[in-house]
Structure 1
Amino acid sequence: MTAQLTEPAARAWQADPYADALRAGQGPLYLRRHDGWLLPLEVERWCAEPDAADETVLARCTGPVLDIGCGPGRLVAALAGLGRTALGVDVTPEAVTRTVRAGGSALCRSVFDPLPREGGWATVLLIDGNIGIGGDPAALLRRAAELTAPGGSLLVEVATADVDERVEVHVEDGAGGRGASFWWARLGTRALCAEAKAAGWAPYDTWQEAGRLFVHLIH
């Protein structure tokens, strides 16, 4: 996977339904598969303060933190508020704007583009299903390994179901607005750990909070 291959997905996430939802701080917003399968996106939660599940992620962050697909930046802003070094990366300009407005630091670019401190991040985050970015978890996990310092951590939010799928989807708002199609992935714990091992990651811990499921990997 290269930065070039992620460009269609980047354009999709910059489409009006997603940007408009972030601007408003609320949905409805969905990922829809061509066969009609629908996944509600939790825009209100993303735009709110960190919840109890997020706090468990923040408590596991050590050293400089990189949040891949930071969205409106609740985790980056929370870490900044604690005096921690944290950077968000997102392909959506509105997401970066909201992150900065909330007090965090963020760059508008793909994770596959050159990034600051490559190989020096102590903790890398793939939260809110962001293991799905690009529809190629193996490539994303390899890229995360390039970004993480030796002995560093990758904290991944996974699907609560035992799922392993790559699907073509688009963003829609339920009122006729829709973005371009792009590839996305959904992984449960077992599938993630299999992909992670091949990319040089070792499982360290798993935990659940408020109906969400997380895996801690070590580089």
Structure 2
Amino acid sequence: MPDMPQPCDVVVLLSGTGGNLQAMIDSFQDSASPARIRAVISNRADAFGLERAARAGIDTRVLDHTGYEGREAFDAALIEAIDSFQPSLVVLAGFMRILTPGFVRHYHGRLLNIHPSLLPLYKGLHTHQRALDAGDAEHGCSVHFVTEELDGGPLVVQAVVSVELHDTPATLAQRVHAQEHLIYPLAIRWFAEGRLTLDEHGASLDGQGLGPSGHLIRH
């Protein structure tokens, strides 16, 4: 009987409740899964995502950013903590820190983020309110490789939802979150299976360039 291939080890960084982390835990709990969450690291000791990880038997670490002299010192300590787990992939799941260029370069091609808008629209915060204020017919979320540009980097997959007449930021956020919980594990699975890569031409899936919008999923 052939040996099972080694799963792709993933480290997740978060600062909050860990909704996307839970979706990953649920998606990768099968022993035959191509991805394995090796550790969860947070800059906040009170992040509920740490409790989700502990319940699932996943290693956790806390690095309080207030204990470091500046971003470079914190990011150097964060790199050391991440690399102690030797992950193939690092995933940002609501990690509320702007990362230094040195950190981003260290994990080039193996650092993913999810953002609650159809990038390049609405980088930064308050994306649901901004989409409503603009009168957009569609909104959604995006998984992308992280580069030194905030909420930039080559797109991997986007999920599109329709904006409804009576939507509020809260109702719109709820539908977008549901899509985040589908597309983030999907992108991680692609990476773990060796199907998703990043090179000088951008992101590719199964050897085909993903283009400026990534893989688009409409509902």
If the length of structure 2 is used for normalisation, what is the TM-score? 0.38
Higher relative contact order (CA 8 A, sep 6+): 1
Structure with bigger gyration radius? 2
